[in-house]
Structure formats: C-alpha cells, structure tokens
Amino acid sequence: MLESLKGIEVLVGREPEKGNILLCINYNDVQKTPSLGPANCVPKSVSRCVPQENSAHCKIVFDENGKIYVKNLKDQNVTFVDDHEVLSMCVDLNSNICLGKEKFVLPLERIIEVTLKYVGEIRAMQTMSVSHLEKVWSEYESECERITKTMQKRNKMRMIPMLIGGLSAVAIPVTNYLLPVPKWATIVISLISLVAIIKVFCSKDTSMEERKKAKDKLISNYVCPNPSCKHFLGEVPYKILKQNKKCQYCGAPWKLDLKLK
C-alpha cells in the first residue's frame, strides 16, 4: 500500500478557520489540501497548517524505503509518539501520535487513506508518458545486436588460423611431392599458423563486460516514469510494454502520445 507513497511528504496542522485537521499534500507540482474531522476538534495548541507558507505543526514523511516518519516542524510545537516527546521518529500504524499539550490524537491510518486517494487522483489527471522508453529499449536492443555480431565475427576469426593450419598440413606434403620445399619454409608456415592460433585464442573477450554495461544502463533508464516509483520494468520489449496501460508496480497510468524530455 505504501509503495505508491514513497518520497511524499504531508504537512499536518490545524485548519485556521474551521479548527479541524488540515493536510497539505504536494505531488507532481499539484497541491491538495483536504481537511479531516469536525469543526473545532483540534485544540489551539496544535499549530496551524498554512500551505502557502509551507508551515504546519508536523509532517508525515513516506521515505524511499517504505518507512513512515513524523517530524515536528517548529521548536514551540509539541509532538508525542507513544507518550514520548519527539522531533523526528519512525512510526507505524500501531504508533500513538499526539499533537500539542492537550495530546490531540493524530489519525495516522486515516491520513494515509486520504493521501492515497488524492495521490491517485493526481496520477489519474497527470497520466505519465512512456514514449521516451522506446529510445531506451531501441538503444539496448541495438547494443545487444552489436555485441552478438562481434562475437560471431570473433568466432569466425578463430576458425581461420585453424583452417590455415589444416590446409598447410595437407598442402605441404603434396607440394613436397610435386615440388620439393625447403624445410625452413615448412617450419615458418607452421610457426605462423601456430602464432595466429595463439593470438586469436589469447585475445580478450569483452562481450560479458559489454553486456553487463548495457544491462546496467537499461536498469537505470528503463523505469516507470512515476517519480515515486522509478521501478525497473524488466527486459520487456517496448512493443509489449506499451500495451500495458499502467505500471505493474505502482499502478500509475501511462500514455504514449507525449515524450518526456
């Protein structure tokens, strides 16, 4: 559930006019400010949430590792986690988070539920393009094809010295029978064949390193365009990938008509 909230921060405080909980959710340059609870349910010891000033009592942070942190934002604020006053602390759904001297209980589970809802709405409005991944896959495919052709060429080159050596072994006796060849010439031809064979077989094969480099580049760039996901989409050809309408990891919808810069 929290996978889709990675990297998102939610400001939490008292709504200045109504006195209930006000959240400020910023995602993909879109700001949502839902309010929770009845009017005047939040005591005045809880600092106001003012989105325009990026000000609030505390903020809930969903980090990249899937953990949740509550962070107090002002020195004069008081934030408790399980009856301990904290400035910043990792929490979970079982944690008792309270704000202000009156220890107003913060409904973390409800905040997560609302955040998921609004983040989902923003994603639906800002369907993300995967058109740029066509170039990423094309480059990877071309590099793999180049490496394969290089290996095939290398294997053919390996056969040439062996072929020459085999032909020499047959040709020299025949030539000696028809036209005597000096022994030194036979030795030279044999040595040339031997050196060529050794050189080809001792030359470094870099195909493994090149394939690894190409794969690492694919892993870095062939990812979900959702900033909160960025999950590697696997070695799935773009032609197949584009048939999917959303990311299988975060569920963010995709489109193909616009290319990201």
Burial 127-145 (b: 16+ CB within 10 A, else e): bbebbebeebbeebeebbe
Number of domains in the chain: 2
Least confident of 29-38, 57-66, 153-162: 153-162
**Average pLDDT taken over every residue of the chain:** 84
Domain that holds residue 13: 2-126
pTM of the model: 0.53
- In 48-182, alpha helices (H): 108-125, 133-178
DSSP 3-state of 19 = coil
Lowest mean pLDDT among 40-49, 156-165, 230-239, 249-258: 156-165
3-class secondary structure, 223? strand
Mark whether 141 and 72 lie in a shared domain. Answer: no
In a domain, 47, yes or no: yes
CA separation for the pair 78, 166 (Å, rounded): 88
Judge whether 261 lies within some domain.
Answer: no
How many other C-beta atoms can be found within 10 angstroms of the C-beta atom of residue 205? 11
Tell me if 260 is assigned to some domain: no
φ, ψ of residue 102 to 5 degrees: the values are -80, -5
Report how far residue 178's alpha carbon sits from residue 187's, in angstroms, rounded to the nearest whole number.
18
Residue 122 has pLDDT above 90, yes or no: no
